[in-house]
Amino acid sequence: MKQFIVDAFTDQLFAGNQAAVCIVEEFPCDSLMKRIARENNFSETAFVLRDGDIFLLRWFTPAGEIDLCGHATLATAYVILEHIDINLPSVEFETLSGRLTVRRRDDFFEMDFPTYEYKHVPVTEEMTAALGVRPIDAVLSRDLLMVLEREEDVKKLAPDLNRLAGLDGVVQAVTARGTDFDCVSRVFAPKLDLVEDPVTGSTHCLIAPYWSKQLGKTTLNAFQASERTGLLKCIVEGARVKLLGKAVLYSISELMLPHQQTVDPRG
């Protein structure tokens, strides 16, 4: 099984968000894909299978399969369009979140994702205790997004991960209005056995529509203020959001998996 490691949402090595992309002729059993994801120990490992003109795509964290991952989709599209079939102008993925299209757009790769519908929820003492600072707003969809007053609060945040894990949402994100960018954010995922996700495309399906409404604009430049940092351009179009980013190849390797382990003997 060939595996590519890609830094996504960056044009520099050792920045952005790492993703492993495994090219498969058939999907391994779920438990083996989970073990591969744990061995890689990245926030996501993608498994992609070509089916005619469509690519079937699945994403695994070290804790198991998830329904949407932006940076690993970008990484997978980069691998296909730059290293597998360089003549394709775009690639279509069939996923747990439906059909996703990624196309070349100048020096970027443009992903077309569904936005997350969200509802405002009360700011609670549990949120304040988990973050060490009181949010000024909070919204919930698949993920919990807590809005802080200052950009500096986001950058300096040192949350209590155990308390964060007790909050709603698959992941818990914080955001604030930016100075050099429209918004800044950080994303934590203790429920997925991840401390902090460096750059999170899927959560920007929530962050982008939130700030689009707050700022009254549909095109946003977003900065994720993790240690590795990452840049996203977000275009909100009704129930869809386009996420634009770049990617860089770090390595290509061959996973030494005996063929019979496509089906995990331990179940």
- Other beta carbons within 10 Å of 51: 8
Task: Give per-residue burial for 182-198: e unless 16+ CB within 10 Å, then b.
Answer: bbbbbbbbbbbebebbb
The active-site residue, picked from 44, 110, 151, 196, is 44
**121 phi and psi, to 5 degrees?**
-125, 155
Q: CA torsion angle for 257, 261, 265, 266 (degrees, to 10)?
A: 50
List alpha helices for 122-169, DSSP H: 125-131, 151-156, 161-165
Examine the residue annotation and report whether 39 is marked as an active-site residue of this protein: no
Contact call for residues 34 and 267 (beta carbons, < 8 A): no
| Residues carrying an active site annotation | 44
